[in-house]
């Protein structure tokens, strides 16, 4: 588990992913991720249109 801080970005808020997480999931700048909300919080995962 990694801990990150919520930051203000313009009029929105965001989180910064640690480099090792970006590399592990082969994420690139500008890629889409999805937020899945649950009873106990949320999960951020790489977006895969074929999976939906």
Walk me through the domains of the chain, giving residue ranges and CATH numbers: 6-46 (2.10.260)
CA atoms of 33 and 43, how far apart (whole Å): 10
pLDDT digits (tens, 9 = 90+) for 16-43: 999 999 999 899 999 999 999 999 999 9
- Cα 24 to Cα 15, 27, 28, 30: the distances in Å are 17, 8, 11, 16
Q: Are 43 and 25 in contact (CB under 8 A)?
A: no
Quote the CA–CA distance of 44 and 10 in Å, as a whole number.
Answer: 21
Question: Is the confidence at residue 49, as pLDDT, over 90?
Answer: no
Residue 47 CB partners (closer than 8 Å, separation 6+): 31, 32, 33, 34
């Amino acid at each position: 588990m990694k801990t990150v801080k919520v930051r203000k970005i313009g009029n929105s808020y965001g989180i910064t992913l640690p480099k090792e997480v970006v590399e592990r999931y082969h994420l690139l700048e500008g890629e889409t991720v999805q937020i899945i909300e649950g009873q106990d919080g949320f999960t951020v995962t790489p977006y895969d249109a074929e999976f939906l």
